[in-house]
């Protein structure tokens, strides 16, 4: 994030667009370098993909996906100020997307249409990875071969469902990031 409360979209049709970002404690936007790496990994599958951006924060991951050809993104953010800023950024960029103002884990438990790509970057202060992963898997949110991106503290050990296999991973500072591929032929335990 830049000093003036903005981050930029780094690729696709919205490249170099700036997102206005509220200055809120605990907000930790995914860095340009990590986003570039992630979207290089996702490049073969992001076009036309149906995406979820859980714990959306600034919405940078989901907006980057839209910029690079995702068919749709649903953003889920419980903080009303962040959800409002996200709606304003989407309107300014003239991008259509759904913004849900709710707790991501609670919202996931209602069930929904399967996503091809999921971005999961919960607040590091909470321990929400396991609950969110379980809700994604058990409430019909994942396409059979979905891709799931997870950011977590470098020192965290997060259990994921056995159907999620590590595809790629990296570390940037204190953040560990992993792209999982759902493999439906692995039985759930």
Assign residue 172 the CATH number of its domain: 3.40.50.150
Residue-level pLDDT at 74? 98
- Structural domain for 167, as ranges: 6-22+31-182
Q: Which pairs count as long-range contacts for 128-132, CB under 8 Å and 24+ apart, including other chains?
A: 128/55, 128/104, 129/156, 129/158, 129/160, 130/158, 130/159, 130/160, 131/105, 132/54, 132/55, 132/104, 132/105, 132/108
Residue-level pLDDT at 77? 96
The pTM is what? 0.92
The closest of 51, 71, 48 to 59, measured between CA atoms, is 51
128 part of a folded domain = yes
What is the phi-psi region of residue 174: left when phi exceeds 0, alpha when psi lies from -120 to 50, beta otherwise? alpha
β-bridge partners, 169: 178
The answer on pLDDT for 186 being more than 70 is no
β-bridge partners, 178: 150, 169
* Element containing residue 152 per DSSP (H, E): strand 142-153
Residue 30 DSSP symbol: P
187 part of a folded domain = no
pLDDT digits over 63-117, tens only? 999 999 999 999 999 999 999 999 999 999 999 999 999 999 999 999 999 999 9
pLDDT digits over 11-27, tens only? 999 999 999 888 887 77
The answer on pLDDT for 135 being more than 90 is yes
The answer on pLDDT for 3 being more than 50 is no
Q: Quote the number of domains for the chain.
A: 1
57 part of a folded domain = yes
76 part of a folded domain = yes
189 part of a folded domain = no
Distance CA 49, CA 69 (A): 8
Mean predicted confidence (pLDDT) in 112-127: 87
162 part of a folded domain = yes
Contact criterion met (CB below 8 Å) for 122 and 132 = yes
Distance CA 16, CA 57 (A): 19
């Amino acid at each position: 994030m830049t000093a003036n409360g903005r981050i930029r979209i780094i690729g696709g049709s919205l490249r170099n667009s700036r997102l206005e970002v509220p200055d809120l404690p605990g907000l930790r936007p995914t860095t340009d370098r990590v986003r570039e790496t992630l979207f290089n990994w996702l490049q073969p599958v992001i076009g036309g993909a149906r995406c979820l951006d859980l714990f959306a924060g600034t919405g940078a991951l989901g907006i980057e996906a839209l910029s690079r050809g995702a068919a749709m993104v649903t953003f889920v953010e419980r903080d009303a100020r962040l959800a409002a800023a996200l709606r304003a950024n989407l309107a300014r960029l003239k991008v259509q997307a759904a913004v849900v103002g709710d707790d991501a884990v609670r919202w996931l438990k209602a069930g929904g249409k399967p996503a091809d790509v999921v971005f999961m970057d919960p607040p590091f202060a909470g321990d929400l990875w396991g609950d969110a992963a379980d809700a994604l898997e058990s409430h019909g949110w994942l396409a059979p071969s979905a891709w799931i991106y997870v950011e977590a503290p470098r020192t965290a050990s997060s259990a994921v469902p056995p159907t999620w296999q590590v595809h790629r991973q990296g570390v940037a500072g204190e953040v560990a990031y992993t792209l999982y591929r759902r493999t439906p032929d692995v039985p759930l335990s």
